[in-house]
Amino acid sequence: MRAVVQRVKEAWVRVNGEEVGRIGAGLLILAGVAGDDGPEDVLYLAQKLAHLRVFAGEGRLMHFSLLDIHGEALVVPQFTILGDCRKGRRPAFDAAAPPEMAEKLYEDLVQALVGYGLKVATGRFRQMMEVGLINDGPVTLLLDSKKTF
Q: Please give the domain boundaries of the chain with CATH numbers for all domains.
A: 2-144 (3.50.80.10)
Model pLDDT, residue 78: 97
124 falls in which pLDDT band (50, 70, 90)?
very high
Query: Which residue is catalytic, options 6, 55, 79, 122?
Result: 79
The residue annotated as part of the active site, out of 47, 80, 127, 140, is 80
CB 88 within 8 A of CB 95: no
Q: Check if 47 is active-site.
A: no
Look over the chain and give the mean of its residue pLDDT values, rounded to a whole number: 97
Selecting among 47, 55, 64, 78, the annotated active-site residue is 78
Is 78 tagged catalytic? yes
Q: For 129-140, how does the pLDDT look when each residue is reduced to its tens digit (9 = 90+)?
A: 999 999 999 999
**Prediction pTM value:** 0.97
- Give residue 149's pLDDT: 84
Average pLDDT rounded to a whole number, residues 113-124: 98
Residue 129: exposed, middle, or buried by beta-carbon count in 10 A (0-12, 13-18, 19+)? middle
Mean local confidence (pLDDT), 13-20: 98
Q: Report yes or no: 37 and 95 within 8 Å, Cβ to Cβ.
A: no
- Per-residue pLDDT tens for 27-86? 999 999 999 999 999 999 999 999 999 999 999 999 999 999 999 999 999 999 999 999
